[in-house]
C-alpha cells in the first residue's frame, strides 16, 4: 500500500527530533524539516484512521493531542493540526516518496506557516469560564431592587392562588433583571480579559450545575508572561460574591491556527 505521513503539528526550528514511540498505535514520531520549520509526523498508510468503535477513535484523538503537547513542551512553538491530517504520495506529480512530499508542502506553504507560527510564538491558549450562582445573585438583586422587594413583600399578604400568580410575576421580573446584569457583567469581564489577551475566541456556553449558570466561555491567546496578570484579574472576578471562574491552560494554541 502507498505510504503517507500523518501530521500532528508544525514546529519552529530545523532540528531533527525523535519523540519516541508515542504516536497513534505506538508509532514512531519524528520531524521532517524545510528551512527553519518542521512537521511532526509518523509513517502511516495513505488512508485516514477510521473506526466504528467510538472508544478507539477517542483514544486516537487523545494520543494526537498528547503528541502535540509533547512537541510543544520539547520543541517550542507549535501549530497544532486536526486529527487525521495525512499527506500522501501524489501519483500525478510522480512523487512517490512521502518524505519529499512533506518537504515540498512545507516549502509551498512556508510563508503562511511562518506567519502563523510568529503569531503564536511565546504564547499559549487558556480557557476562561465564568459562572454565577443564580440563587445568590437573585437574592442580592431582590435586596437592593425596590420593585422586586415590594413585590416579594406583597406576595406574603395574598391568598394562595393570587400569591402563586404574583410569584410568577416576580420570577419573570427577576429573569429580566438577571439578563440585564448578565450582559453588564459580560461586557465588564470581557473588557478586563481583553487587556491581557492577544486574542479572544468566544466558545459556546455550556450547562453548569444548577443553580450555577455559565455567563462566559472564551479561549484566550496570551503571552506566557502576561498571563500572570490575567490570573490576578481573574482572581478578582472569582472573589466577587456569587461568581466563579474556571481558568485552564496553558494549552497549545488549538483555537488560534
Residue 18, burial from CB neighbour count under 10 angstroms (0-12, 13-18, 19+): exposed
Q: Could you tell me the smallest distance in angstroms from the CB atom of residue 21 to other proteins?
A: 30
Assess 165 for contact with other proteins (CB under 8 A).
yes
Measure the CA dihedral 56/60/21/122, to 10°. -160
| Residue number with CB closer to other proteins (20 or 211) | 211
Q: Give the whole-angstrom CA distance, residue 160 versus residue 172.
A: 19
Phi/psi at 175 (nearest 5 deg)? Answer: -60, -45
| Residue number with CB closer to other proteins (14 or 165) | 165
Q: Is the peptide bond before 250 cis (omega within 30 degrees of 0)?
A: yes
Helices (runs of H) and strands (runs of E) counted in the chain: 7, 10
Of the candidate spans 34-42, 157-165, 180-188, 191-199, the one that interacts with other proteins by CB under 8 A turns out to be 157-165
Q: Could you tell me the smallest distance in angstroms from the CB atom of residue 20 to other proteins?
A: 31
Phi/psi at 51 (nearest 5 deg)? Answer: -155, 145
Query: Which one among 53, 168, 239, 241 touches other proteins, defined by CB under 8 A?
Result: 168
Q: Could you tell me the smallest distance in angstroms from the CB atom of residue 214 to other proteins?
A: 13
Of the candidate spans 13-21, 24-32, 155-163, 189-197, the one that interacts with other proteins by CB under 8 A turns out to be 155-163
Site for other proteins in 197-236 (CB under 8 A): 207
| Residue number with CB closer to other proteins (139 or 169) | 169
Q: Are 229 and 247 in contact (CB under 8 A)?
A: no
Query: Which one among 14, 163, 229, 232 touches other proteins, defined by CB under 8 A?
Result: 163
* Collapsed DSSP state (helix, strand, coil) of residue 11: strand
Binding mask 81-100 for other proteins (x = CB under 8 A): --------------------
Of the candidate spans 97-105, 136-144, 162-170, 192-200, the one that interacts with other proteins by CB under 8 A turns out to be 162-170
- The residue among 114, 96, 137 whose CA lies nearest residue 12 is 114
Of the candidate spans 122-130, 168-176, 228-236, 248-256, the one that interacts with other proteins by CB under 8 A turns out to be 168-176
Bridge partners for 7 per DSSP: 41
- The residue among 8, 66, 60 whose CA lies nearest residue 38 is 8
Q: Are 225 and 101 in contact (CB under 8 A)?
A: no
Query: Which one among 53, 160, 209, 239 touches other proteins, defined by CB under 8 A?
Result: 160
Assess 161 for contact with other proteins (CB under 8 A).
yes
Of the candidate spans 14-22, 96-104, 128-136, 156-164, the one that interacts with other proteins by CB under 8 A turns out to be 156-164
What residues make contact with other proteins under the rule CB under 8 A?
159-165, 168-169, 172, 207
Amino acid at each position: 500500500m502507498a505510504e503517507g505521513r500523518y501530521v500532528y503539528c508544525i514546529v519552529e526550528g530545523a532540528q531533527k527530533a525523535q519523540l519516541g514511540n508515542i504516536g497513534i498505535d505506538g508509532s514512531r514520531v519524528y520531524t521532517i524539516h524545510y528551512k527553519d520549520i518542521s512537521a511532526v509526523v509518523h509513517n502511516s498508510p495513505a488512508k485516514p484512521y477510521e473506526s466504528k468503535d467510538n472508544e478507539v477513535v477517542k483514544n486516537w484523538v487523545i494520543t494526537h493531542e498528547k503528541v502535540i503537547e509533547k512537541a510543544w513542551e520539547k520543541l517550542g512553538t507549535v501549530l497544532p493540526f486536526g486529527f487525521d491530517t495525512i499527506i500522501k504520495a501524489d501519483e500525478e506529480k510522480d512523487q512517490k516518496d512521502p518524505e519529499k512530499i512533506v518537504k515540498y508542502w512545507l516549502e509551498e506553504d512556508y510563508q503562511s506557516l511562518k506567519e502563523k507560527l510568529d503569531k503564536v510564538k511565546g504564547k499559549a491558549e487558556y480557557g476562561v469560564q465564568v459562572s454565577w450562582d443564580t440563587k445568590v445573585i437573585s437574592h442580592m438583586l431582590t435586596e437592593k431592587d425596590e420593585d422586586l422587594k415590594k413585590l416579594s413583600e406583597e406576595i406574603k399578604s395574598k391568598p394562595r392562588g393570587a400569591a402563586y400568580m404574583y410569584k410568577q410575576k416576580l420570577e419573570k421580573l427577576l429573569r429580566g433583571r438577571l439578563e440585564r446584569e448578565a450582559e453588564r457583567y459580560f461586557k465588564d469581564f470581557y473588557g478586563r480579559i481583553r487587556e491581557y489577551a492577544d486574542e479572544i475566541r468566544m466558545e459556546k456556553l455550556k450547562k453548569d450545575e444548577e443553580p450555577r449558570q455559565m455567563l462566559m466561555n472564551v479561549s484566550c491567546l496570551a503571552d506566557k508572561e502576561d498571563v500572570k496578570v490575567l490570573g490576578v484579574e481573574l482572581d478578582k472576578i472569582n472573589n466577587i460574591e456569587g461568581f466563579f471562574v474556571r481558568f485552564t491552560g496553558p494549552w497549545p494554541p488549538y483555537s488560534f491556527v
